[in-house]
């Protein structure tokens, strides 16, 4: 069953759940709604999994989405441009548009996120492979100072946290 609500209505629901002591459900709903962002391939796959009552699959995809969001945010916050290669095509090239980048992810079984400086210098890459445990979606990355810093500061701690929650 699908219930359509506005972002404002979803925020009110999340706040009511948090006020009633159900912070975990409130946080999950807020994450699923991601106020104001377009629905991504992750979101559609989560909905399909829940429709099939496959909660483990939905939770895995939520973990993949959470790590992908954190990776994209970390790269953009550092001022890098992102290109997305979906194993067939460059679906996004040198972009700083978070919504466009997130829309490009999760359309195939794996994605490459490639980083460039604003002047066009190649900085590194991350390989995302979907369908394993969720927290391990970043399967590889360039071994350089930039990618290692993002791995050490953002991805690895989040992956460890998500692994502990699963």
Q: Tell me the CB-side half-sphere exposure of residue 115, using CA atoms within 13 A.
A: 24
Given pLDDT bands bounded at 50, 70 and 90, which one contains residue 165? confident
Greater confidence (10 vs 87) lies with 87
Task: Tell me what pLDDT residue 11 has.
Answer: 57
Question: What average pLDDT does the chain have?
Answer: 86
Burial of 81 (0-12, 13-18, 19+ CB in 10 A): buried
Predicted confidence (pLDDT) at residue 26 exceeds the cutoff of 90: no
Task: Tell me what pLDDT residue 55 has.
Answer: 92
Counting residues of the chain whose pLDDT is more than 90, the rounded percentage is 69
Predicted confidence (pLDDT) at residue 37 exceeds the cutoff of 90: no
Given pLDDT bands bounded at 50, 70 and 90, which one contains residue 1? very low
Task: Identify the weakest region by mean pLDDT among 1-15, 47-61, 65-79.
Answer: 1-15
Beta-sheet strand order (sheet of 81-85): 90-95, 81-85, 110-116, 122-129, 138-141
pTM score: 0.78
Q: How many CB atoms lie under 10 A from the CB of residue 148?
A: 14
Task: Tell me what pLDDT residue 22 has.
Answer: 59
């Amino acid at each position: 069953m699908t219930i359509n609500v506005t972002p404002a209505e979803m925020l009110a629901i999340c706040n009511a759940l948090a006020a009633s002591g159900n912070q975990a459900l409130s946080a999950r709903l807020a994450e699923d709604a991601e106020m104001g962002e377009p629905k991504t391939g992750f979101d559609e796959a989560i909905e399909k999994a829940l429709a099939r009552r496959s909660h483990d699959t939905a939770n895995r995809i939520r973990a993949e989405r959470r790590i992908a969001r954190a990776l994209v945010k970390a790269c953009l916050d550092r001022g890098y441009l992102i290109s997305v290669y979906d194993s067939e095509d460059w679906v996004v090239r040198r972009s700083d548009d978070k919504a466009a980048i997130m829309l490009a992810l999760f359309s195939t079984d794996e994605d490459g996120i490639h980083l460039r400086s604003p002047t066009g210098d190649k900085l590194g890459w991350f390989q995302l492979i979907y369908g394993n445990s969720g927290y391990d979606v970043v399967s590889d990355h360039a071994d350089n100072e930039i990618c290692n810093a993002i791995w050490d500061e953002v991805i690895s701690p989040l992956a460890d946290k998500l692994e502990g929650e699963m």
